[in-house]
Amino acid sequence: MSNLVIVLGDQLNLKMSSLHNFDKGSDTVLMSEVKEEATYVKHHKQKIAFVFSAMRHFSEVLEKEGHNTLYVKYDAKDNQGSLFEQIKHTCKNNSYSSITIAHPGEYRLLEEVKTWESKLNIPVNITSDNRFIASQQFFSDWAEGRKQYRMEFFYRELRKKTGVLMEDKQPRGGKWNYDADNRKPFGKNPDIPERTQFSPDEITEDVLNLVESQFSDHFGDIHNFSFAVTREGALSVLSDFVEQRLTDFGQYQDAMLEGDPWLFHSHIGLYLNVGLLMPEEVIQAAEEAYLNGDVPINSAEGFIRQILGWREYVRGFYWYFMPGLKEKNYLEASRSLPELYWSGKTKMNCMSQCVQDTKKYAYAHHIQRLMVLGNFALLTGIEPKALNEWYLLVYADAYEWVEMPNVSSMVLFADGGQLASKPYAASGSYINKMSNYCRNCEYSVKEKTGPQACPFNYLYWHFLYRHQENFSSNPRMAMIYKTMSKMDQTKFNHMLEDADTFLIKLENNEEV
């Protein structure tokens, strides 16, 4: 009896649950560069190149390990265009007694997989997604009965469960969270190690040529592609991060610097999200660096919190609230996505920098995504579905399970506070504090009104004003609204007028 094992493009690890009982004598792995998946949103060219090249390299690993592997390239004559049709075509030409697939990472695909058994009349076994530490059931058990779903408390439960950074059932260093130590801006000329880069090999070159020919109208640059596409390469990126940048990661993780989105960050999100790295080994590397005295507790804990805390939390949050999360729009935002998110053409240097970084690298770090690109979308009322699609297609590490909670719930507060206790809204002063973007901007961050005023300043107060009914009773925003009530009414009205003028220009896709 033979089994057809489906390995998806984000499940590239020999330890995947779908391969646990693989019979090398009779079973077959099917991998396919699915046209439908590559184009349902117009993914960044580098994202497509990364996934396809990583898939092709992993198929070679499977073959070397003795797995009979059927690999369908994007431009193959027998590429059926969709995953289901490819499986149907494969089953028609071969006799399989069952199909096995690890739990997909996205809701829409899981719903499709659930229909395969009846459509194909073949048993379909969905195994657990072991690219994560916490099961969906663990999150559901934790979330059940709660009125608020805060990452910090979920993170503490996982610390207790795993023993990570724990000693005698207490957090190492005496605190669960060192976030207060991790908000420093850069001084002058910070000494930042170069990120780990890789030259394309023959397989990757073939993929890059494919992307150039088949996806020429997709967003993003492709000629500077330098991601790792193998597990060995991903492990090298992790090792270099721990050795060269983790020490300073903590204190500077929220800082931004013109011309450099990489900074002291790890750059491993895309490798984790396709399975080239597993979370346990990433966490262990950081914890061991701390225990060995090589990095301070604030850096080790801050990084581990991103993996064991935030990554695990948003995945659980996604599955717990889907499919309803996709429709949430608490603030009734309705503005179309402005052209500047594609072109980067704007007089706002912070926005231009972050869009250009995204276009060039399919990457921007989390504060760029949240407090510049996301903050602007929140303040201007961009519609959630439009912004979700943008974030999903422009970043190499973006998959719906991680992108949607971050965008809908954290960036846009579209869920009304299930994830965050208040919106992440900020004026230009925050961007000025945490970056050097404002130095080379045509606007003045010190000005609140007038043609030279930083748009984030008047947009911030305009946002608070038009959403008073939503937030005035929020305890964490009481001080802000108290400040607003004491403002000079004439100056405040000028800010509202400037914001209205700006939003009309934005609506008309004029340069702002």
Cα gap 7→59, rounded to integer Å: 9
Cα gap 255→237, rounded to integer Å: 21
What is the reported pLDDT for 147? Answer: 84
Give the SS3 label for residue 354: helix
Element (H, E) at 152: helix 151-162
What would the pLDDT profile of 357-416 be if each residue is shown by its tens digit?
A: 999 999 999 999 999 999 999 999 999 999 999 999 999 999 999 999 999 999 999 999
Cα gap 314→342, rounded to integer Å: 26
Tokens of 93: 């030409």
**Would you put residue 121 in left (φ > 0), alpha (ψ -120 to 50) or beta?**
left
Give the SS3 label for residue 28: strand
Give me the domains of the chain, ranges plus CATH numbers: 3-127 (3.40.50.620), 136-193+245-321 (1.25.40.80), 340-507 (1.10.579.10)
Pairing of strands 124-127, 166-167: unpaired
Give the SS3 label for residue 58: helix
**Which DSSP state fits 335?**
B
Contact 136, 316 (CB under 8 A): yes
**Total residues found in the chain within this entry:** 512
Cα gap 366→7, rounded to integer Å: 29
What is the reported pLDDT for 180? Answer: 85
Which residues are CB-neighbours of 402 under 8 A, at least 6 positions away?
273, 311, 314, 315, 318
Q: Which residues of 69-93 are buried (b: 16+ CB within 10 A; e: fewer)?
A: bebbbbeeeebbebbbebbebbbee
Contact 24, 34 (CB under 8 A): no
Cα gap 52→73, rounded to integer Å: 9
Give the SS3 label for residue 271: helix
Instruction: Name which of 15, 24, 31, 282 is nearest 129 in CA terms.
Output: 15
The widest CA-to-CA distance across the chain, in whole angstroms, is: 80
Instruction: Name which of 417, 393, 422 is nearest 328 in CA terms.
Output: 417
Contact 259, 353 (CB under 8 A): yes
Amino acid at 178: Y
Give the SS3 label for residue 382: strand
- Crossing angle between the packed helical segments 136-143 and 312-321, to the nearest 10 degrees: 70
Which single residue is written with the structure tokens 């020999």?
14
What would the pLDDT profile of 130-161 be if each residue is shown by its tens digit?
A: 999 999 999 999 999 998 899 999 999 999 99
Pairing of strands 3-6, 98-102: parallel
Residues of the chain with pLDDT under 70: none
Which residues are CB-neighbours of 3 under 8 A, at least 6 positions away?
22, 23, 26, 27, 28, 96, 97, 98, 99, 100
Instruction: Name which of 422, 429, 424 is nearest 379 in CA terms.
Output: 424
Cα gap 151→312, rounded to integer Å: 9
What is the reported pLDDT for 148? Answer: 86
- 385 phi and psi, to 5 degrees? -65, -40
Which residues are CB-neighbours of 122 under 8 A, at least 6 positions away?
91, 96, 97, 98, 99, 116
Cis status, amide bond into 123, omega within 30 of 0:
no
Give the SS3 label for residue 67: coil
Give the SS3 label for residue 3: strand
Contact 29, 62 (CB under 8 A): yes
Q: How many CB atoms lie within 10 A of CB 265?
A: 20
Dihedral angle sign, alpha carbons of residues 395, 156, 253, 368? positive
Tokens of 91: 């089953």
Cα gap 38→215, rounded to integer Å: 9
What is the reported pLDDT for 39? Answer: 87
Tokens of 394: 């422009």
Distances (CA, A) of 215 to 47, 77, 386: 11, 18, 21
